[in-house]
Structure 1
Amino acid sequence: MNEAALFTERRLANFSGRAGGVCSVPMLWLVLAALVLVRALPAGAQQEQTRPAQPTFVYLTPDEALQEAFPKAARFRVDTLRLSLEQRRALAKKLRQPELDSLFIVHLAYNAEGHFLGYATIMNEVGKYEPITFVVGVDPRFRVKKVAVMVYRESRGGQVRQPRFLYQFRNKSARDPLQPGRDIINISGATLSVRAISRGVKKALHILSFWYGTHPPQGGRRSEP
């Protein structure tokens, strides 16, 4: 029972115990109505009332994040992937995650000579309460090139933005577990954030390798799976 309901029940007991157990009818109905209202609140709403306000730390803008992922890129081309229901379900089953969104935005990186450098995608994965926004850079062979935190919205767990933590994702592919405690070192006090980053990197790798695996991008043309 939550604290508000417990408090209301205690008040009801106090009222009924006064004056030899006599309580006025209007007051009794008022207390009963308050108790019903408190108990009717969804658990999420009750928790929302006690959830502390979370700070927001912005470390990179989208443009800065793309350049962080591919410093030698002269231009980026946006590719919008539209996943069918069957594709989303197949990927979700492989990832052991809830059903994915139907749209997935990819930034294709090219150097000044027009050579393709790789893929960059901006991910949002929930940590403890709020989403963590980060960029995942992937080379043409579908190995992680760079991971960088863009926006962190929690009061704790911010250690996941440190290079010594993020560096361990380098060269990972969709064939790797990408699980804390297996091939990703956990951080005490930041477990949920570590899981969120790992989950997002794994999701990006699987979607990119699925979509572009047999149809890599060529020039300015859009590729289809």
Structure 2
Amino acid sequence: MNTTTKAWTTTPLVALVSAGLPALYPPSVQAAASMSPEQAAHAAFPEADRFDARSLRLSSEQLHGLDAVAPVRQRGEVRLFEAWAGSRLLGTLYIDDVIGKVEWVTYALALGADGSVRSLEILEYRETHGFEVRTPSWRRQFSGRRVDTPFRFGEDIKNISGATLSCAHLTAGVQRLMALHTQLAKTSAR
């Protein structure tokens, strides 16, 4: 066999095999953090002069009660930042995780002192598709929402094709946090 022919016949084979490898082994996806919880707190409440941070471990009773509001898989621990301007409470920023499709999505929900949504930020999105939930236009749909005025995914909150589960689960997560906020406000008023 001629060495020229041998080189000619194996080179395309190597090229074809190596060209197909990326399709067989897609690149791993790294979680992309857009901002820290502290940055989200400052962005949501720029007029605040201090933040009181704490973690809240939800009891099984609380989790069960919140499941009735919107059943979505959550971790069961919520971090919160109360925003203050002097002695006046401006609102609370909640940091939570919901499952997207298969990976956790970390998000921040800012509620004003009146309980209405000030902002929604996606802090860390780990899914391979559906990054559009980070767009301001999708997140703005939550602004001004209140716990006493129900909203539904697919009707009041629009879907993003390719990110249906992430959109639905984030909507349910927002509803749960708003209900939790209401529960905490009732508890502290006693």
Could you say whether these structures have the same fold, taking a TM-score greater than 0.5 normalized by the shorter chain as the test?
yes
Q: Is the 8 A contact 2:111 2:117 kept in 1?
A: yes
Superimposed CA distance per residue, residues 128-152 of structure 1 (whole angstroms, 9 cap, x where no aligned partner): 1211111100011111111011111
Q: Equivalents in 1 of 2:164, 2:27: separation in Å?
A: 19
* 2:48 aligned partner: 73
* 1:62 aligned partner: 37
Q: Is the 8 A contact 1:75 1:110 kept in 2?
A: yes
> 1:149/1:204 Cα in 2 relative to 1: closer, same or farther (>3 Å)?
same
User: Relative to total residues, which structure has the larger strand share, 1 or 2?
Assistant: 2
User: Which of 183, 193, 196 matches 2:156?
Assistant: 183
Superimposed CA distance per residue, residues 43-64 of structure 1 (whole angstroms, 9 cap, x where no aligned partner): xxxxxxx997333211101211
**Equivalence map 1:127-166=2 (5 Å):** 127-166=100-139
Moved beyond 4 Å, runs of 4+: 97-100
> 1:99/1:129 Cα in 2 relative to 1: closer, same or farther (>3 Å)?
closer
Higher RCO (CA-CA < 8 Å; seq separation 6+): 2
Unaligned runs of 5+ in 1: 1-49, 217-224
> 1:84/1:124 Cα in 2 relative to 1: closer, same or farther (>3 Å)?
closer
Q: Give how far 1:98 is off.
A: 5.8
Q: Does 1:117 align with 2:90?
A: yes
Q: Is the 8 A contact 2:105 2:124 kept in 1?
A: yes
Q: Equivalents in 2 of 1:134, 1:94: separation in Å?
A: 19
* 1:107 aligned partner: 81
Superimposed CA distance per residue, residues 139-181 of structure 1 (whole angstroms, 9 cap, x where no aligned partner): 1111111101111112210111111111110111223444321
Identical-pair percentage? 30
**Equivalence map 1:25-40=2 (5 Å):** none
Report the count of equivalent residues. Answer: 166
In structure 2, give the amino acid aligned to 1:66: A
Q: Equivalents in 2 of 1:129, 1:156: separation in Å?
A: 11
Q: Equivalents in 1 of 2:111, 2:120: separation in Å?
A: 9
> 1:196/1:88 Cα in 2 relative to 1: closer, same or farther (>3 Å)?
closer
* 2:28 aligned partner: 53
Superimposed CA distance per residue, residues 1-47 of structure 1 (whole angstroms, 9 cap, x where no aligned partner): xxxxxxxxxxxxxxxxxxxxxxxxxxxxxxxxxxxxxxxxxxxxxxx
Over aligned residues, Cα RMSD in angstroms? 2.3
Q: Which has the larger radius of gyration?
A: 1
Secondary structure of the residue aligned to 1:137 is strand
> 1:210/1:195 Cα in 2 relative to 1: closer, same or farther (>3 Å)?
same
Secondary structure of the residue aligned to 1:165 is helix
Q: Does 1:85 align with 2:53?
A: no
Q: Equivalents in 2 of 1:201, 1:51: separation in Å?
A: 32
> 1:69/1:56 Cα in 2 relative to 1: closer, same or farther (>3 Å)?
same
Secondary structure of the residue aligned to 1:171 is coil
Superimposed CA distance per residue, residues 161-215 of structure 1 (whole angstroms, 9 cap, x where no aligned partner): 1111111101112234443212101111211121122121111101011111353
In structure 2, give the amino acid aligned to 1:55: Q
* 1:192 aligned partner: 165
Q: Is the 8 A contact 1:68 1:148 kept in 2?
A: no
